[in-house]
C-alpha cells in the first residue's frame, strides 16, 4: 500500500447545499446565550471565551459564511497546489508536495497547528520553493511537503486511538522517506511544534534540523528548578502552566473535546465557536486571518467531518523524557509563549538559534510571513 495517489478536492454540491440550508436556518438572533450582553455587564474577551464563544465573534462569521463566502473559488485555489494521498501505518495521509525548480533544494516538511490545517502554510510555498523568482538566494530553496495529521481534513478517517505526536512523527518521517528524501528539515507551529521535535528525536540521522515557533518546555516540579528565573520568566511559566494543565492534562477539558464532537459536525455555529478560540495571549484567529482564510479552514473541517477527531490531538499529547539532539531553532513571535531558556535547553540539547520578535503572533505564517521565511532560511543555512 505504498502507492502515492494524486488528489483533488471535490466537495459534492449536495454538501454545499446542505451547509447553505443549515446556515440559513441557524438561530441568527441568539445562536446561544450571550454572557455580558449589555453595557452594564461585559465579560473580558478571554473570560467570555472560557464559556465557549461570544456571539460577537460567531455572528459576523456566520453571516459572512452564509452570504459572501465562495467555497468553489477557494476549492479552485487549493487545487492549484499539487496534492496527494498515501497510506502509512494503516492511515490515509493527505499532503501537498511542491518541488523546487532548484535541483539542490533542501526538502522541508511543514507541520501545521490546530485548529488550523494544511492551509496554514500555503502562502509560503512560492517563496520557499523558488526564491530566485522573488529576488532571493537560490541556494536557500526548499522542496516543500505539507501533510495533514491523521484525522485532520483529508487525512481521514482516523478511527483508532493512539495517534499521539510520536506516532504522527513516525508517519511523517515515513512520508519523507517514501518521497525519496533521505535528509530533510522540519518546521512546526502550535501542535506542529510538538510533532516536529519528535521527528528529530526518532530519526536524528535523517532530520537535519527542526525549526519551531514555540518550544513547549515547562516546570517539572523538581527541586530548585525555578532558581535563577527572572520575574518575567516566572510569569511566563505560570501562564504556560495554566495552558498545559488545561489543554493537555485537564480531564474535563479533554472529555469535552469528544463529547461535543456531534455539535461541531452538525452545527456551523458550534464549529465556528470552537475553531475561533483565542490563544493563551488572547489572540483571535480573526486577528491573524482574513474571513476567507478562516472560513476556508473551517469549511475543510466541516466538509470532511473531522472537527471531532482532530481535537483528540491534545488528549493524545505527552512529553518525552529524553532530550532531542538534532539542531533546534526557535522563532517566537509577538506575545506567543516562550519558555525560560534553561527549560528549553533541558529538553533540547542542541539549540542553535533563539530569536524573539516583538511583532507577529501565534499564527506567524499568516501574520508575518516574510519574517518567518527569513528565520527559517537563516536557521537551515546554519545546519545544512
E strands, 215-259, in order: none
Q: What pLDDT does residue 224 have?
A: 83
Burial class of residue 322, CB neighbours in 10 A (0-12, 13-18, 19+): exposed
More confident call, 25 vs 246: 25
Q: Report the range of poorest mean pLDDT among 267-276, 304-313, 314-323, 371-380.
A: 314-323
Q: What confidence category does residue 4 fall into, taking pLDDT thresholds of 50, 70 and 90?
A: very high
Tell me the C-alpha distance between 2 and 154, whole Å.
18
Mean pLDDT of 200-211: 97
Q: What confidence category does residue 159 fall into, taking pLDDT thresholds of 50, 70 and 90?
A: low
Q: What confidence category does residue 105 fall into, taking pLDDT thresholds of 50, 70 and 90?
A: very high
pLDDT digits (tens, 9 = 90+) for 275-305: 766 555 555 566 778 899 999 999 999 999 8
Q: What pLDDT does residue 54 have?
A: 60
Q: What pLDDT does residue 261 have?
A: 57
Residue 345 CB-half CA count within 13 A:
7
Using DSSP, state whether 86 is helix, strand or coil: strand
Which residues contact residue 78 at a Cβ distance below 8 angstroms, ignoring those fewer than 6 apart? 9, 119, 122, 296
Residue showing cell 473535546: 257
Check pLDDT > 90 for residue 351. Answer: yes
More confident call, 232 vs 126: 126
Residue 23 CB-half CA count within 13 A:
22
pLDDT digits (tens, 9 = 90+) for 23-58: 999 875 554 555 554 444 344 444 444 444 566 778
Q: What confidence category does residue 74 fall into, taking pLDDT thresholds of 50, 70 and 90?
A: very high
Backbone conformation region of residue 359, classed left if phi is above 0, alpha if psi is from -120 to 50, else beta: beta
Tell me the C-alpha distance between 240 and 230, whole Å.
15
Residue 121 has which C-alpha cell? 502554510
Q: What confidence category does residue 319 fall into, taking pLDDT thresholds of 50, 70 and 90?
A: low
333, 361 contact by CB (below 8 A): yes
DSSP string, 88-157: ETTEEEEEEEE--SSTTPEEEEEE--SS--GGGGGGGHHHHH-GGGGTS-GGG-EEEEEEPPTTSTTS--
Structural domains in the chain, sorted by start: 5-383 (3.40.50.1820)
Check pLDDT > 70 for residue 64. Answer: yes
Residue 328 has which C-alpha cell? 533546534
Check pLDDT > 90 for residue 313. Answer: no
Task: Output the CA torsion sign for 168, 170, 172, 178.
Answer: negative
Mean pLDDT of 78-87: 98
Q: Report the range of poorest mean pLDDT among 155-164, 218-227, 278-287, 363-372.
A: 278-287
Tell me the C-alpha distance between 25 and 33, whole Å.
17
Residue 132 has which C-alpha cell? 530566485
Amino acid at each position: 500500500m505504498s502507492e502515492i495517489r494524486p488528489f483533488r478536492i471535490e466537495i459534492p454540491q449536495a454538501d454545499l447545499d446542505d451547509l447553505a440550508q443549515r446556515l440559513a436556518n441557524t438561530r441568527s438572533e441568539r445562536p446561544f446565550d450571550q454572557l455580558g450582553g449589555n453595557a452594564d455587564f461585559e465579560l473580558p474577551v478571554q473570560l467570555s471565551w472560557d464559556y465557549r464563544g461570544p456571539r460577537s465573534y460567531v455572528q459576523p462569521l456566520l453571516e459572512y459564511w452564509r452570504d459572501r463566502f465562495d467555497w468553489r473559488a477557494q476549492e479552485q485555489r487549493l487545487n492549484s497546489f499539487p496534492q496527494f494521498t498515501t497510506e502509512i501505518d494503516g492511515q490515509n495521509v493527505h499532503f501537498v508536495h511542491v518541488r523546487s525548480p532548484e535541483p539542490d533544494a533542501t526538502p522541508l516538511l511543514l507541520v501545521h497547528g490546530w485548529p488550523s490545517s494544511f492551509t496554514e502554510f500555503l502562502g509560503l510555498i512560492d517563496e520557499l520553493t523558488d526564491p530566485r523568482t522573488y529576488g532571493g538566494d537560490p541556494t536557500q530553496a526548499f522542496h516543500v511537503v505539507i501533510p495533514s495529521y491523521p484525522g485532520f481534513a483529508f487525512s481521514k478517517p482516523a478511527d483508532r486511538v493512539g495517534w499521539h505526536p510520536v506516532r504522527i512523527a513516525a508517519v511523517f518521517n515515513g512520508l519523507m522517506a517514501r518521497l525519496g528524501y533521505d535528509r530533510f528539515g522540519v518546521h512546526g507551529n502550535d501542535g506542529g511544534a510538538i510533532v516536529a521535535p519528535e521527528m528529530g528525536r526518532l530519526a536524528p540521522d535523517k532530520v537535519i534540523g527542526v525549526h519551531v515557533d514555540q518550544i513547549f518546555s515547562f516546570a517539572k516540579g523538581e527541586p530548585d528548578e525555578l532558581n535563577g528565573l527572572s520575574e518575567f520568566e516566572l510569569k511566563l511559566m505560570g501562564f504556560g502552566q495554566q495552558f498545559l494543565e488545561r489543554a493537555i492534562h485537564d480531564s474535563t477539558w479533554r472529555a469535552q473535546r469528544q463529547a461535543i464532537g456531534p455539535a461541531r459536525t452538525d452545527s456551523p455555529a458550534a464549529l465556528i465557536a470552537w475553531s475561533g478560540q483565542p490563544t493563551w495571549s488572547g489572540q483571535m484567529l480573526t486577528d491573524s486571518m482574513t474571513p476567507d482564510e478562516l472560513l476556508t479552514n473551517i469549511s475543510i473541517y466541516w466538509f470532511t467531518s473531522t472537527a471531532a477527531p482532530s481535537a483528540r490531538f491534545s488528549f493524545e499529547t505527552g512529553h518525552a523524557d529524553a532530550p532531542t539532539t538534532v539542531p533546534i531553532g526557535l522563532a517566537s513571535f509577538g506575545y506567543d509563549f516562550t519558555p525560560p531558556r534553561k527549560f528549553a535547553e533541558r529538553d533540547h540539547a542542541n539549540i542553535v538559534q533563539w530569536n524573539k520578535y516583538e511583532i507577529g503572533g501565534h499564527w506567524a505564517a499568516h501574520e508575518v510571513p516574510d519574517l518567518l521565511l527569513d528565520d527559517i532560511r537563516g536557521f537551515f543555512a546554519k545546519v545544512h
